[in-house]
Amino acid sequence: MRVITSTAPPASLARADREARPPLRIGLVQHAWDPDPAALEQRLSEGIGAAAEQGARAVFLPELTLSRYPAFERAGTEPGRAAEELTDGPTYAFACRAAKEHGVLVHASLYERADAADGLGFNTAILVGPDGELLGRTRKLHIPVSPGYYEDTYFRAGPAEDAYPVYRPGALDGAALGLPTCWDEWFPEVSRCYSLAGAELLVYPTAIGSEPTFPGFDTQPLWRKVIVANGITAGTFMVVPNRTGDEGGLRFYGSSFISDPYGRVLVEAPREQEAVLVADLDLDARKDWLDLFPFLTTRRPDTYAALTEPVVPGAPYGGKA
């Protein structure tokens, strides 16, 4: 895989009277699904190893890491037949092996079995340490329902009482991570809630590409703009590993990237090739940016009640029916 490295973080607004934190070097792998599980795991492990060789301390992988993306068609009567146990399935086992082999934290994504009557499972992100410890587990909150992305027929939404967890792994010197997933990246409420909980970087494992009902419409530029903008208003780094390649029903457009709280894209991948991205994160940037533009402290939550109201039946685009 091609390795693309941005090793010099852009200058922050750091004040001279504050001791700077050392930069945090991270990596991500952009991959194409392979029907041969052994070949896929080998390529992913090589990508993780390449990032580790560049000094990355954590490596992040795309959505449903080891699986073909299933939701280009509606699920049948057994939607959870391809789901796996959280810590007793192939994805967790792979993450443990790769983390141990390369001495880094490994993030992956899986279709988690829920053992519910309707057969639906969870779309779950995990973070695993080199000793095999599960350091984080976050279930996708927002579930797509549109053609080509019929995820509502496979996944249940993560429960509200389990939303927005922030993890501070000691191996990353306590850097604060949130692990939402794909469709969550379009919602400014998600990044804001994580920011309010103290997250410094948000990692969005992603599977996005073509739109079957609008085949000539390229959403890639809009997708990146939204995520970068949400990072600006939340004061967070955005780490976005997407898959690439043609899986029949969909063609994924890669373009994985890492951006900072100032809206600068630190490093990005091509659309059509597998790649490894490595970047240094200046974690002081979050505080410096939110000191300059204090979005959190100047909020007006007393005016936001409409955000918690359900959509009015018959008025899905807002307003009254």
Q: What is the CATH number of the domain that holds 101?
A: 3.60.110.10
pTM comes to 0.95
- Residue 320 resides in a domain: no
Q: How confident is the model at residue 315 (pLDDT cuts 50, 70, 90)?
A: confident
b/e burial code for range 92-131 (CB count within 10 A of at least 16 → b): bbbbbebbeebebbbbbbbbbbbeeeebbbbbbbbbbbbe
- Residue 108 resides in a domain: yes
Q: Which pLDDT score, from 0 to 100, does residue 265 have? A: 96
Identity of the residue numbered 89: G
Number of domains in the chain: 1
Q: Which residue among 84, 96, 182, 268 is the active-site one?
A: 182
- Residue 318 resides in a domain: no
For residue 140, indicate whether it is catalytic: yes
In 3D space, the residue among 195, 267, 179 whose CA is nearest the CA of residue 232 turns out to be 195
Place of tokens 């443990």: 96
Distance between CA atoms of residues 1 and 61, nearest Å = 14
Distance between CA atoms of residues 62 and 82, nearest Å = 18
Beta bridge partners of 104: none
Distance between CA atoms of residues 128 and 91, nearest Å = 11
Q: Which pLDDT score, from 0 to 100, does residue 16 have? A: 60
Using CA atoms, how far residue 116 sits from 19, 64, 83, 120, 318, in Å, is 51, 20, 12, 6, 33
Q: How confident is the model at residue 20 (pLDDT cuts 50, 70, 90)?
A: confident
Reported as type and span, the H/E element at residue 189 is helix 188-196
More confident: 239 or 76? 239
- Residue 316 resides in a domain: no
| CB distance 277 to 256 below 8 Å | yes
Q: Which pLDDT score, from 0 to 100, does residue 249 have? A: 86
- What 3-state DSSP class applies to 138? strand
pLDDT at 11 over 80: no
For residue 193, indicate whether it is catalytic: no
- Residue 123 resides in a domain: yes
**Stretch 272-289: mean pLDDT, rounded?**
95
- Residue 319 resides in a domain: no
CA-only gyration radius of the chain, Å: 19
- Residue 305 resides in a domain: no
Q: Which domain holds residue 263?
A: 2-9+22-295
Q: Which residue among 41, 96, 140, 274 is the active-site one?
A: 140
Distance between CA atoms of residues 150 and 144, nearest Å = 6
Output phi, psi for 244, to 5 deg: -130, 170
- Residue 139 resides in a domain: yes
Q: Which pLDDT score, from 0 to 100, does residue 9 have? A: 64
Q: Which pLDDT score, from 0 to 100, does residue 257 have? A: 98
For residue 182, indicate whether it is catalytic: yes
More confident: 107 or 317? 107
Q: Which pLDDT score, from 0 to 100, does residue 311 have? A: 86
Q: Which residue among 41, 63, 151, 200 is the active-site one?
A: 63
Distance between CA atoms of residues 97 and 131, nearest Å = 9
